[in-house]
Structure 1
Amino acid sequence: MRKKLYIDGQWVEADDYRPLFSPYSGEQIAEIAYAGPADVQRAIEAAERAKPRMARMPAHERAAILERLSALIREKAEECAQLIALEAAKPLKTARQEVERTITTYKFAAEEAKRIHGETIPMDAAPGGEDRIAYTIRQPLGVVAAITPFNFPMNLVAHKVGPALAAGNTIVLKPAGQTPLSALLLAELLEQAGLPAGALNVVTGSGSAIGDMLVTDERVKAVSFTGSPEVGIAIRNKAGLKKVTLELGSNSALIVDQGVNVDEMIARAVTGAFSYAGQVCISLQRIYVHEALFDEFVWKFVKQTESLQLGDPLDPQTDLSAVISPHDAQRALAWVAEAEQAGAVIAAGNRSDGNLVHPTVLLAVRPDSSISCSEAFAPVVMINKIASVEEGIQLVNDSRYGLQAGVYTSDLRTAFAAAEALEVGGVMINDIPTFRVDHMPYGGVKESGTGREGVKYAVEEMTELKLVCFKK
C-alpha cells in the first residue's frame, strides 16, 4: 500500500516514497511518502489558515468532534490494534490495550474541551486595586507541532492531538518514521469526525528535516516532542520563545523494602520490565531489593520471566516480540556484555533471534555500566541488593533521568519519606514505575524532560493565559 501526505484535508502526493518494513518479519508492509521542504511549508500554511476557524469553534463542537473520533476508533479497534502490531511489532494483546487507552485519551480530551476556564482575581487585595474586576481566560496558541515516537504510535499521538484540538489549536503532526500508518489512519478518522480541513496535517519522512522546519518556523507557536534527550535538547535550543513540552529519556527504578509480599508484585514487576520488549518510556530498568528479600525476589522474578511467550506480534498469545530495529537489538546485547565484563551476573536471557532479544536479567550491575546509567529501551533489567530504602533512594537519584519511580513498602513513614526524596516527576507507592493512566500529570525532571502531559495538563501547556481587568 502507498501512503500519501495529509495536508489541508487532502491526500497529497510526495516527490519521494520509501519502503516501510516489519520490525519482526522484515517484510515490506507499505510505501511511505517522504515530505520535502515545500510539503512541510504547505502543511504549516494550511494549519495557519485553519487557525481562526478552530479558535472560534465553540467548546461543545470541539468536544463533539473528539467524541465522534473516540466512537470511530472503537468501531475500528481491532483494525487499529492489527496496524500497531504490524508496524511497531507490538504484541497484539498489548496493542489492543493501547487502542483502549487511545479511546480513553480522546474521551478525556472531549471532556477537557468543555472545562477550559480561568478565575477571578481579587484586585482590591493590593493597594491601588480598588474598584476593579479582573478575571483570566485561556486562549489557543495557534499552530502546534507534534513530534511523536514509535513505541505508542496511537496513544502518544492522542496525548498531543487530543489536547491541542480540545484547546482550539491546529496541528502539524510528524509521526515516527517506523510507525506512520496509525497516524495516517487517525487523519482519515478525524476527517470523518468532522474536523475542518487544515486543523490536522500529517507529514511523514525524515525526522531531522521535518522537525527542524517545524521547530524554527515562527508560525508554529508550540512544540510537543516525545523522544531522546539529545533531540529534545536540540529542539529546546532551536525553538526560541515557543512553548516546548519535552518527554525524554528514563531508566525508571523500583525499590523493594523488607517485609513486603514478593508474590504479590513479581508478575507486575516482570510486566513492567518486559512489556513491549522494554520499549516503554517508563519501562522498569533498575530494581533495588532489600537484602532480606533479595534471593527470593530474584528466583521468583527469573522464573516468571522464563514463562513469557516470545514470537510473532500478530499471535494473540505472544508476550514479547522484536525490538524496533537490528541496531537496537545489537546495542542491547552489547550493553549486557559490557555489564558482564564489569562483574555483573546474567540470571536469564542474553541472546537474540534476529530482532527478537530474549528477556534478560542482570545481577550485581555496577552503577557506571550503561545498563544502569543510560536508557536501555530493550528487554533488559538489572536487580541489585540494597541494605536500606535510603540506600535505594540514593541509587535511584544517582541518574541524569527522573521520570517515574516505584517503591514497595509496608511502612507508611518510609513511603512518605521516599515520595519526598525521590528526584522524579511521579512516585508510585506499592506499584511499579511503569504505571500510567491517561489523565494523570505525566512528565519528568532532569534529562527526562520539561512540562507535563495528561490531558488537562497538556491543555494548559497548549493555551495562553490572558488577564482581563475592568475599572468600574
Structure 2
Amino acid sequence: ALITAENGKPAMWAKAEVGRAVSTFRWAAEEARRFSGDLMRLDTDPIAKGRMAVVRRFPRGPVLGITPFNFPLNLVAHKVAPAIAVGAPIVVKPAPATPLSALLLGSILAETDLPKGMFSCLPVPNERAPKLVEDPRLPVVSFTGSGPVGESIKAAVPQKHVTLELGGNAAVVVCSDYRDLDWAAQRIALFSNYQGGQSCIAVQRVFVHRSHKDTFVPKLVESVSKLDFDEQVGPLISEQAARRVQEWVDSSGGRVLVGGTRNGAAYAPTVLADVPAGAKVVSEEVFGPVVVVSIVDSDEAGLEAANDSKYGLQAGVFTHDVQTAFKAHTLLKVGGVIVGDVPSYRADQMPYGGEKGSGVGREGLRSAMDDYTSPRVMVLTGLTL
C-alpha cells in the first residue's frame, strides 16, 4: 500500500515488488552461507612445494547506495541485502519522490540484531548527493538511475569503486520462425506499459519479421487497447514526466496506432509505427508507456537493429530455434537476452546489468557481493599436501 501511495504503481505491481524484495533478502542470506572463499594449490610449481593460497573477499568499505523512484523497495533491497551479506555498512539515499518505502525497510532492519550503523537511510535532496558521493568514508558507490547522473558520478570519483545501473531502450525481435504470436503480442503489450512504462527494461522497440507484419501488428494494437489502465498501467511519477512523454511522441514523426493522449500524469498506452531513425522515442529512453514497432526483412536485420542503440541492458528474442537463440546471445551487445519472452524478465539472483551506456558492474546478489568486496590472498607455507 505504501509503494502504491508514494509511487502510483498499480497494486498488482506493488505486491509483486514486495515479493521480489523478500526473495532478494532470502537469496542474499543463502549467498552469505556460500561466501567462504577459495583454496588454490600452489605446489604445481616446484618452488612452491607445501604452499596453498586461501582467497577470501573482504568489504572495500561502507557503501553509498543511490536508488530511483520506480522500484522504491526492491531496488533498495538490491543495495542493502548484498551489503549485509558481506558485512559492509551501507548508507542509502532514496529518490526524493519515494523515500517512504526505504524508511519503512529501515525501521524493520532496526528491529534486528544487526550492528548499530550497519544500515542508514538518508533522504536528502538530489542537490546534496554530490557531497555524499565525494565523501572519502564511502569508498563504494552503487547507483541506479539516469545515464547523465551516473556518468557524472563516475567522473567525480574515479578513485572509488563505482557501479552504475543506468537506462535502456529495450528491444524485442519477433523472428520468422515464431508462431505463438498471441503470446508475443500480449507480453509485449503488457511489458511496454506496466508501471506506466517506468522500468529500465520495459519494451520500447519491437522489430517484427516481415512475414508476421499483417498478423502481429494488429494483435499488438488489440492487446494494448485491452489493457486495464488502473490495474496494469498506472500513472507516471509526475505530470511533468507525462508531458515529456507527450512531447517525444508528438515530435516523433511516426504514426500513432493506438494511444497518444495524456490526462494529467496519466499517459495512454501507445503504439507507434513508421518512426524515423534518430527520433527520441527510439534513440533515448522513453520511460513511459510507449512502444515503437518496425518491420525487418530478416532475423539478422532485427538483431542488427536491436544493437543499433547507445544502450545495452536486456533484449527479448521470440524464437523457437535454438540456433537463433545462441546467435542472438552471441551478437546482441546487452547484459541479458531473454528467449521466448520480453526483456522485462528479471530473476533477482541472476547477474543484471548492461553494456555500453547502460552501466558498469552487475547487480543480482552474488554479483553485487563481489562488487562490494575485493579479494585478499593468504598463502600457507610448509603444508603436507
Fold in common (TM above 0.5): yes
The residue that corresponds to 1:44 in the other structure is none
The residue that corresponds to 1:134 in the other structure is 53
Q: Tell me, in whole angstroms, the C-alpha distance in 2 between the residues paired with 1:126 and 1:89.
A: 62
Q: 2:183 aligns with which of 240, 247, 264?
A: 264
Q: Tell me, in whole angstroms, the C-alpha distance in 2 between the residues paired with 1:333 and 1:227.
A: 21
- Aligned ranges 1:29-428 → 2 under 5 Å: 82-126=1-45, 128-209=47-128, 211-260=129-178, 261-311=180-230, 318-340=231-253, 344-428=254-338
Letter in 1 for 2:260: N
Q: Give the secondary structure class of the aligned counterpart of 1:319.
A: helix
Letter in 1 for 2:153: I
- RMSD of equivalent CA atoms: 1.2
Q: 1:403-458: per-residue Cα shift (whole Å, max 9, x none)?
A: 00011112222221111000001011111110001101100010100000001111
Distance change >3 Å, CA 238–CA 125, structure 1 → 2: farther
Percent of matched pairs sharing the same residue: 42
Q: Give the secondary structure class of the aligned counterpart of 2:110.
A: helix
Q: CA deviation at 1:294?
A: 1.4
Q: Give the secondary structure class of the aligned counterpart of 1:292.
A: helix
Q: Is the 8 A contact 2:270 2:291 kept in 1?
A: yes
Q: Give the secondary structure class of the aligned counterpart of 2:37.
A: coil
Q: Tell me, in whole angstroms, the C-alpha distance in 2 between the residues paired with 1:406 and 1:310.
A: 24
Distance change >3 Å, CA 363–CA 194, structure 1 → 2: same
1:457 and 2:367 matched: yes
Q: Tell me, in whole angstroms, the C-alpha distance in 2 between the residues paired with 1:121 and 1:359.
A: 55
Q: Give the secondary structure class of the aligned counterpart of 1:134.
A: strand
Q: Which runs of 5+ in 1 are unaligned?
A: 1-81, 312-317
Q: Which runs of 5+ in 2 are unaligned?
A: none
Q: 1:200-238: per-residue Cα shift (whole Å, max 9, x none)?
A: 1111121231x2122211111211100011011111111
Which 10-residue stretch deviates more, 280-289 or 127-136? 127-136
Which 10-residue stretch deviates more, 153-162 or 324-333? 324-333
Q: CA deviation at 1:127?
A: 5.4
Q: 1:433 aligns with which of 340, 343, 347?
A: 343
Letter in 2 for 1:362: L
Letter in 2 for 1:420: T
The residue that corresponds to 1:52 in the other structure is none
Q: Tell me, in whole angstroms, the C-alpha distance in 2 between the residues paired with 1:416 and 1:140.
A: 36
Letter in 2 for 1:272: F
Q: CA deviation at 1:240?
A: 2.7
Letter in 1 for 2:135: D
Q: 1:21-74: per-residue Cα shift (whole Å, max 9, x none)?
A: xxxxxxxxxxxxxxxxxxxxxxxxxxxxxxxxxxxxxxxxxxxxxxxxxxxxxx
Q: Give the secondary structure class of the aligned counterpart of 1:125.
A: coil
Q: 1:98-119: per-residue Cα shift (whole Å, max 9, x none)?
A: 1111111111111112111221
Q: Give the secondary structure class of the aligned counterpart of 1:139.
A: strand
Q: Tell me, in whole angstroms, the C-alpha distance in 2 between the residues paired with 1:350 and 1:280.
A: 19
Q: Tell me, in whole angstroms, the C-alpha distance in 2 between the residues paired with 1:310 and 1:254.
A: 23
Letter in 1 for 2:248: W
Q: Give the secondary structure class of the aligned counterpart of 1:339.
A: coil
Q: Tell me, in whole angstroms, the C-alpha distance in 2 between the residues paired with 1:195 and 1:122.
A: 36
Distance change >3 Å, CA 127–CA 233, structure 1 → 2: farther
Q: Is the 8 A contact 2:61 2:138 kept in 1?
A: yes
Letter in 1 for 2:25: Y
The residue that corresponds to 1:8 in the other structure is none
Letter in 2 for 1:97: A
Q: Tell me, in whole angstroms, the C-alpha distance in 1 between the residues paired with 2:295 and 2:8.
A: 34
Q: 1:123-163: per-residue Cα shift (whole Å, max 9, x none)?
A: 13345333322110111222100000000000000000000
Q: CA deviation at 1:264?
A: 2.2
Letter in 2 for 1:241: Q
Q: Tell me, in whole angstroms, the C-alpha distance in 2 between the residues paired with 1:216 and 1:126.
A: 44
Q: Tell me, in whole angstroms, the C-alpha distance in 1 between the residues paired with 2:132 and 2:48.
A: 42
